[in-house]
Amino acid sequence: MKLLQKLFAIALALVGAGLLVGGIWLATLGGSGYYLVLGIAYVIAGIQLFIGRRSGAVIALLAALLTVPWAVWEGGFNFWPLFPRLVVPFAVAALAMMLAPAAPGMDRSKAAWRIAPAASACWLLSSAWAWPLCRTVP
């Protein structure tokens, strides 16, 4: 599991670096600063996870939550523009939370069982919200 944690942390930091560079370029062209901020967050989260700090998962989750207002601003409440803007940040946050180190003195399997019901509820609610919307044709 340690190897998977390290590989994910490296991948997250590299993705963050790419988003950071692209975000700087986009911002200089007058575009949104979202990718610059997300890139910084992912680089910091990747570093934190790599050195074994749970704060990396919290940063990834906060980045996903702060993506919601941007996604609504960019695409409105329409399913098809909103879904692609939200799915990746929330998937990254979910992976970060699952691969984050357990709290000191807590067994990893117990920690996973505590997170699983909340993750399942979020998935069910998002699926229930998405299903009727994806069947409509704009």
pLDDT in tens, 27-56: 999 998 999 999 999 999 999 999 988 889
Neighbours of 6 (CB within 10 A): 15
Distance CA(69)–CA(80), nearest Å, equals 16
**3-class SS of residue 116:** helix
Neighbours of 65 (CB within 10 A): 12
Range in 28-37, 58-67, 118-127 with the lowest mean pLDDT: 118-127
The pLDDT of residue 110: 62
Q: Give the mean model confidence (pLDDT) for residues 64-71.
A: 89
pTM of the model: 0.79
Distance CA(57)–CA(99), nearest Å, equals 8
Cβ proximity of 19 and 35 under 8 Å: yes
The pLDDT of residue 120: 63
